[in-house]
Amino acid sequence: RKPMDLRRVIIFYNLFQVLLSGYMFYEHLMAGWLRGYSFSCQTVDYDDGPLSRRMFNLCYVYYLSKLTEFADTVFFVLRKKQSQITDLHVYHHSLTPMEAWILTKFIAGGNATFPNIINNFVHVLMYFYYMLSAMGPRYQKYLWWKKYMTEVQIIQFILCIGHCINALVTGCPFPRFISTLLLINASIFLALFMNFYIQSYKRRPKAVMAGSTVEKVEEAAKNESVEAKEVNNNTVESVELLEKQDKSEDSPVEELKHAEEVSEEACEEPSVVEELAEPALPKDVTEAVEGLRQRIVTLEELIPEDRPSRVEEVTK
């Protein structure tokens, strides 16, 4: 099976989560945290008043929202992104719905809603980031704050831990068992997110930085070799150009002198034809040939003129 293309579905899903989280954040403020709730210690209001009922309804909506977040896992499976189904993901999406159900069933209000309001604020940012990420490469330049998103989540759990410890230490009448469970849960989340943060942003960048440094060194060396080659080529070309210019700048007088020297050398040296016509013979051979010529001349003088000479017959 090929991975399913759910880009548009994921965009609208993330937009829905942004709006839902924003609505719940506003309702948490209007139902209690801006209407008299104490950040140090707030018990559950079991009265049937408008604010307590509003908070109860909000806790139920919060529980339903955690059920809708199972779609994150479904999308990972359909898109074959099993690598993103980490231990942190499984723990978060398995335990949070059960926690939200317990709070809605027994303690819908008070200190138990403090982690909820912080979680709603964080989810507005988180799902907005996911929405931009799903919108394609054109919006990648707006995702520079991914690291800070993880840091905000870590701060979220630190605040929850501090809030639970304060309730346990100061003797707040809020159920200690629930405060202890919230403290343990927030501590586990903090450990998991810290591990994710270290693995993603503290160790990997060093390797990336080292790789980038090597690439920069190699690129610099390559550039230096190219520049050296260009310098050498330019030097050779410059020398050749200067030589050509020097030759072209010779005066006509010097050119004429050069031509005369060449012609004189040509006149002084015997031609190839002359060397072949007058071969250099030994002295005794030359004397013998000369004596033979004289004898032939003497014989021709003795022969009558009307008779062809022997030399002519031979030549004919």
For residue 1, what pLDDT is reported? 79
Give the number of other Cβ atoms within 10 Å of residue 52's Cβ: 17
- Below-50 pLDDT ranges, the chain: 206-214, 217, 220-221, 224-253, 255-260, 262-279, 311, 314-316
Helix axes 70-78, 7-28, angle to 10 degrees: 170
Select which of 28, 92, 123, 163 is catalytic.
Answer: 92
pLDDT at position 304, please?
Answer: 56
Separation in Å, CA 211 to CA 150, 197, 198, 207? 25, 21, 19, 6
What does the pLDDT read at residue 252?
Answer: 46
| Long-range Cβ pairs for the range 239-242 (8 Å, 24+) | none
pLDDT of residue 259: 46
Q: Which residue has the tokens 């004898």?
A: 295
Residues whose CB falls within 8 Å of the CB of residue 117, separated by 6 or more in sequence, listed in order: 25, 28, 29, 33
Whole-model pTM: value is 0.64
Half-sphere exposure of 44 (CA within 13 A, CB side): 18
Three-state secondary structure of the chain: CCCCCCHHHHHHHHHHHHHHHHHHHHHHHHHHHCCCCCCCCCCCCCCCCHHHHHHHHHHHHHHHHHHHCHHHHHHHHHCCCHHHCCHHHHHHHHHHHHHHHHHHHHCCCHHHHHHHHHHHHHHHHHHHHHHHHHCCHHHHHHCCCHHHHHHHHHHHHHHHHHHHHHHHHCCCCCCHHHHHHHHHHHHHHHHHHHHHHHHHHHHHHHHHHHHHHHHHHHHHHHHHHHHHHHHHHHHHHHHHHHHHHHHHCCCHHHHHHHHHHHHHHHHHCCCHHHHHHCCCCCHHHHHHHHHHHHHHHHHHHHCCCCCCCHHHHHHC
Q: What is the largest distance, in Å, between two alpha-carbon atoms of the chain?
A: 175
- Looking at residue 255, what is its pLDDT? 47
Can 92 be counted among the known catalytic residues? yes
Nearest 5°: the CA angle 219, 225, 227 is 100
pLDDT at 162: 97
Going from the C-alpha of 15 to that of each of 55, 62, 130, 179, the distances in angstroms are 24, 17, 9, 33
| Rounded Cα–Cα distance for residues 94 and 131 (Å) | 23
Q: State the Cα angle at 29 between 22 and 27, rounded to 5°.
A: 50
pLDDT score recorded for residue 200: 87
